[in-house]
Every structure is written in C-alpha cells, then in structure tokens.
Structure 1
Amino acid sequence: MALFRRSTPEPAPSLAGQPDAEDKPDRLRRHASEAVTTINRASGELPTYSCVQALHLVDLLTEVIDLSDTRALDIHAAITVRRTLSEYLPDTIAAFRKIPATARHEARPSGRTPVTALEESLSAMQQAARETLLAAQNHDVDALMTQGAFLTTKFSRSDLDL
C-alpha cells in the first residue's frame, strides 16, 4: 500500500530568532556606506539641509550598528537599521530626485512643497533611528542591571549563613 502514499516534503527547519545574513553587522555597515554614497551622489540635487539630515541619519544608524560589537542586535533594531539604510532612505532620495527641479519648491494642494515633504520624511526616519538607538542602549543598561542584581544575590551573604 505504500505505492499510493504521497510523499510529503520535510518541513524546513525553523529559522526564528536567527539573524538574517543581511542583518549582520558587517552587512549593515556596508549598507551604511552605500547610503552615504547615495547621499553624496545626490548632494547636487538635494537641499543642503536635507543632505545634513540624511548624513546625520546614517550616523545615528551607525551608532546602533556599533552596539553590535558587544552583543547581537535585537532583531527589530537590525531590521529597522537595514530597511532604513537599504530601502527607506534611498527610495526617499530617489523619489525626490525624480521631481523636476522647477517643481521642488512649488506648494502642492496640501500646502507642502516637495522640499518640505523630503525634510519631514528625513525627520521621521531620524526620530525612528533615535528611538532604535535608545532602545538598544536601554537594553544594554537593563542587561547590566540584571547582571548586577544576579551577582549581588549570588555573592552576598545569605540570611541562612551561620
């Protein structure tokens, strides 16, 4: 009767909790370098303030990446860094560059100009980067506090000692 059984493929091993190759620090640093190159190439078309904002954003995200020198990044932090550097920032710059230079300062029906929209988008990404950096730093502080509490409990005298 084995002739009529359908073979079922083995389920793929679960990769939950394992970092994606794209989220490893060396790859994230490469994304940061590529983002700086993108910003520099677009600098002639971007408003000066927006270039500064974009470079500051990369600096913030690089600080997050640098935290991985002591311990692996939280998966949420790694994904935020990767996607901001490889998708959100380059896509925002590319979208702005597609707008004719003559239309970049013209108010749209919303009352905002493309320059204003670019600055707001970069500000939003900066805020997310700051929050990610703070969360990663707080995770390190929380880990240190937990370790300190453990060591205090472990090596302090117990009330049961005679």
Structure 2
Amino acid sequence: MTEITDKVERAIARFDRVTQQIDQRGGPAQEAARRERQRLNADFGRRFKRVGVAVLLISILTIVVGLVIPIGMFGFLAAVGLAVGVAAVLGLTPSQPRCIAGPATDLPNGEMVQRFDSYLYRTRGALPAPAQAQLDGISAALPSLKQVLERVETLDPNAQDARRLMSIHLPGLIERYMRVPASFRNERDGEDKTVDERLTEGLAAGRTALADISERLARADVAALETQGRFITTRYGDSGPQVPVPDKGGNGAIIDS
C-alpha cells in the first residue's frame, strides 16, 4: 500500500512539474522572461560601447605618444596588450549589478520599475506555486505602471507609495520568506496560516495596492485630458474663436474669425 502511495505522489509531482513548465511557456512568466532578455541585451550593448570608447582612447594615446617619442615594436605590443586587458575587464563587468536584490530606494521611477521587474523574475523560481501566480500578476501590471510613473515626480504621493512597495515592502517580504528553513514553512501560526500562505497573502495585497496606484495615476491622466478637451471645445468650437473687430462707428463688435 505504501509503495502504491509513493508512486501516486511521484506521478503527481511529475504532473505538477510538467504543468508548471507549460504555464511558464506563455502568459506573464514568458513576458517577464522576454523583458529580462531585453535588459540583458541592453546591458551587453552598454558594455560594447564602453569597450569601444576605451580602445579608441588607448589607440589615440598611442598615436600621440608615438608622434612625440618613438615607441617601437615593444611599445606597440604593450599598447595592444593594454587595450585587450581593458576590453576584457570592461566586457566582463556588467554595467548594472546582477545579484538577486531589491531595487535601491534612490532610483528614478522608471528604472526602479525595471529593477523590480528583474528582481521578481529572478526570485520567482524559489517561491511556491500560489506565490508565483501572484508574482506573475504583479509582473504583468508593471509595464503600464512604468508608463504612468515615468510621467510623475518622485515626490508624488502615489509614486512614493509605489516606490516603497517595490523597493522595501515586497522585496522584504520575499527575502524574509527565503530565510525561513523549508522544514518550518508548513507550520501554522496563531491564525492557522503557514509561511507559504502568509507569503501569498502579502503578495496579493501588494499586487492590489500597485494596481490601485496605477489606476489612480491613469485616471488622473484621463481627467487632465478631459479638462483640456473641454477647454479646447469651449474656446475653439465649431464656430471657431470669436475676436472683437471694430465696426464702421468705431465700436468693437464680436464676429466669427
């Protein structure tokens, strides 16, 4: 009987792994992976530019020195070696830190959203499936949140709330979860909730809060557009703007322009 139970549990575990892999091929997880690849490609581009600038500067310096003082073959080889060494160091050094850590609190709004998106992508695999679903929901909403946050000041109250969630509260929740030993994650607390359930509940609350912030900022843009549209319609309606034109008696009369 025990052997049959073990086989069933192994089959269920294999099914869970397969379904998880299928889920990751599409939807928010795939979009998050695509954005992460874009960030990596952008980082490689920045490295290539740094290498090109460094090699160019070394080449110019070598030419200038060679015009003043003959450097000979050994000097030329030394310059080539220096260029290769500098290119190797700059090419292998990421332009941004790639460690799994939450975004810094002093980043601009748009960059903070990108760093937070990368952080979620890199920590997703260490979380249980219900928490991953909440992370996918947060990740799917980040592109629109980035679009609205980039247009507001850092000190905007809504932006401040979003920044605290992305740089402090949500990364802190995930990091505290990771510090809990796996053997303790199924224990229930005073409210009969496990560590996994607490994590999922916290992520769900953060997801809702970020969605509310994004909606408030978007509605503010809609209201501003509505106000501007009403002003233009009132000022420049179908009859066009009306301007005063002097009549024959010298009095001002309003006529359509």
Q: What TM-score do you get using the length of structure 2 for normalisation? A: 0.47
Give 1:116 shift. 1.2
**For 1:29, which of 101, 114, 136 is the aligned residue?**
114
Contact 1:23–1:82 at 8 Å: present in 2 too? no
State percent identity of aligned pairs.
25
Give 1:104 shift. 1.0
**For 1:109, which of 190, 206, 226 is the aligned residue?**
190
CA distance in 2 between counterparts of 1:96 and 1:102 reads: 12
Q: Which amino acid aligns with 1:32?
A: D
- Aligned length, in residue pairs: 138
Contact 2:165–2:206 at 8 Å: present in 1 too? yes
Determine whether 1:147 maps to 2:232. Answer: no
CA distance in 2 between counterparts of 1:149 and 1:112 reads: 53
Determine whether 1:72 maps to 2:157. Answer: no
1:7-18 correspondence to structure 2 within 5 Å: none
CA distance in 2 between counterparts of 1:102 and 1:66 reads: 41
CA distance in 2 between counterparts of 1:134 and 1:109 reads: 35
Bigger drift between 109-118 and 25-34 goes to: 25-34
Contact 1:31–1:86 at 8 Å: present in 2 too? yes
CA distance in 2 between counterparts of 1:112 and 1:129 reads: 24
Contact 1:105–1:114 at 8 Å: present in 2 too? yes
**Aligned twin of 1:119:** 200
Determine whether 1:59 maps to 2:140. Answer: yes
Contact 1:35–1:86 at 8 Å: present in 2 too? no
Any stretches of 5+ residues in structure 1 without a counterpart?
Answer: 1-19
Give 1:73 shift. 5.4
Greater relative contact order (CA < 8 Å, ≥ 6 in sequence): 1
Contact 1:63–1:133 at 8 Å: present in 2 too? yes
Give 1:72 shift. 2.9
CA distance in 1 between counterparts of 2:162 and 2:194 reads: 28
Determine whether 1:97 maps to 2:182. Answer: no
SS of 1:26's equivalent in the other structure is helix
Query: Based on CA coordinates, which of the two structures has the bigger radius of gyration?
Result: 2
RMSD of the alignment, in Å? Answer: 2.6
